[in-house]
Chains A and B, each alone.
Chain A
């Protein structure tokens, strides 16, 4: 075989193997999406979304679970956003550039981002549910989810700060602004879009999380709109699927679990696709984000 022919064959072989891997990688992905769509789509109609569950999950819809999930997400957003903004302000704007606060802060955020979510659940259970005596409460669950979202949201705001045009900073400095004034006049207006998109990204993950709310906020049935803070659990879509997957073997229930799963996937993908362009930009400065 001539060297040239050899290189040609080798190239074919290499790409053949690569494509084989790619094709094999597609199999489980098709399985996941295909199964959820095939089994979940028939039962996913307006009635399913708007009626409350009955018969222990064998009849009715998931209106209560949707309501509970929305309460948890709204709580998490309200708790997380101000903290994320403040954290980003310190790490990315007020602390001296290239200083220790920035380096340690960003590493801390990456490490928190990778923390197993069950740990947030356990921590909140110990502090809120037990020590402070809240019992299972939507507020405690929202707090656990907020902790999980915080790094994502903060990193998104930091990214906005980092991409502030230098001319604007120079102009502000030329006007004799104090450091704090530069931040409020030039950098803070840029933060909002990062805060919104970062929060959406975080909420997309939080919407499907079961582990942080497992011990802190949710029960399977019998919770309406909470009328207080203490001992006021909610229902939630992911927990609903979690319990039904283990305990319910009724055929009527199976179709409903799959529809719930599809609904959860749809909620998550809508939130995350809305901020897909940002996700691409974020990576540039946050490897492994």
Chain B
């Protein structure tokens, strides 16, 4: 009886842990719900045109996000198309030719670059890249150096080290035995690489690409500085070399302050947040599935 009554010194742990868990749990649930709730008036006002419509004139209460979705898709696809081959090539080269200390040095360098803040990339974009792009595109007579293409190229530079280091992680943690066996069977190093190592790591590498894509989709600051922030660009290929708008550059811009006094306008911006959240969720979800963590 006396033993049974003696308090377990660790018993309050559950209580403390539950209290500490409350804040993150509430936040994780409240964030998407708040965006949804705040965006309801806009969905009611505009219906599916909110996603499919390409006209955004807030004074006329017309809210269509299609050209911003187009902008986000264009910018991040350009980024991934440029960064994926180079990043994967870099990771595979490092993996197959640099062992031990040298490999770790390169890895640390990639980590370092992956940690460069996006505003610094934005600064490089403003000060240098957009001038170069303007000069490069002279034959096409662009309006300015700020364009979806410039933003895409800048994002490519930004996600390149992230992609390379993620891909390197995948290769590093892959099972080395099949490759050894293949070498033992007389396959050359490149044959081993292309018919054993890479197919074995393919899912992980795709996951790395998707995670890098997710980072490009959600980037605000670097894109904001060089994308031009021009609403309602038409959904066609030639818009790529013109100033455009993405979901994030719209959400990071001054319209948030303009919308403070207008609940429908605010609601439409919250709908953009919902769309961005959904795109990001989808990408991450796919990436996690590919990485072998089945949700």
A residues engaging B (CB < 8 A)?
Answer: 7-8, 10-11, 14-15, 17-22, 24-26, 28-29, 31-33, 35-36, 82-87, 89-90, 94, 106-108, 110-112, 114-120, 122-123, 125-127, 130, 147, 150, 154, 178, 180-181, 183-185, 204-205, 207-211, 214-215, 238, 241-242, 245-246, 254, 257-258, 261, 264-265, 268-269, 272-273, 276, 279-280, 283-284, 287-289
Contact = CB atoms under 8 A, between A and B. Distances in A.
B20 interface: yes
B204 to A, nearest CB: 6
A208 B118 contact: yes
A43 to B, nearest CB: 14
Interface string B254-295: 001000100000000010010011001101110110011101
16 contacts: A19-B89, A21-B88, A31-B157, A32-B116, A36-B124, A82-B20, A85-B20, A94-B13, A107-B288, A115-B277, A184-B13, A245-B123, A261-B120, A261-B123, A265-B120, A273-B111
A118 B248 contact: yes
B111 A272 contact: yes
A123 B166 contact: no
B43 interface: no
A18 B121 contact: no
B256 A11 contact: no
Contacts of A207: 117
A246 B116 contact: no
B54 interface: no
B18 A287 contact: no
Interface in B169-216: 169-170, 172-173, 188-191, 193-194, 204, 207-208, 211, 214-215
B211 A214 contact: no
B136 interface: no
Residue of B86, B204, B287 contacting most chain A CB atoms (<10 Å):
B86
B120 A208 contact: yes
B208 to A, nearest CB: 7
Where chain B touches its partner, the secondary structure class is: helix
Nearest to B214: A114
A245 B24 contact: no
Given A86-B19, A123-B35, A273-B112, A238 B14 contact: no
A102 B35 CA distance: 27
A122 B116 contact: no
B28 interface: yes
A20 B20 contact: no
A90 B17 contact: yes
A264 B119 contact: yes
B34 interface: yes
Interface residues of B, number: 99
Contact of A20 (B21, B89, B94, B166): B89
B277 A87 contact: no
A205 B225 CA distance: 20
A22 B119 contact: no
A94 B221 contact: no
B12 to A, nearest CB: 8
A141 B126 CA distance: 26
Given A87-B24, A184-B10, A211-B252, A22 B117 contact: no
A183 B89 contact: no
Given A115-B280, A116-B280, A214-B252, A245 B122 contact: yes
A110 B38 contact: no
Contacts of A280: 107, 172
A185 B9 CA distance: 10
B17 A89 contact: yes
Contacts of A261: 119-120, 123
A238 B248 contact: no
Most chain B CB within a 10 A radius of its CB, from A26, A122, A126: A122
Nearest to A183: B13
B248 A111 contact: no
A111 B285 contact: yes
A116 B86 contact: no
Nearest to A211: B220
Contacts of B120: 32, 36, 208, 241, 261, 264-265
B71 interface: no
A205 B117 CA distance: 7
Contacts of B218: 114-119
Contacts of B208: 288
B121 A32 contact: yes
B111 A117 contact: no
B198 to A, nearest CB: 11
Interchain residue pairs A-B with the least CB separation, the first 5: A208-B117, A86-B20, A21-B89, A116-B218, A287-B291
A195 to B, nearest CB: 12
Contact of A32 (B113, B215, B248, B293): B113
A19 B97 CA distance: 10
A119 B113 contact: no
B244 interface: no
Contacts of B211: 114, 288
A90 B273 contact: no
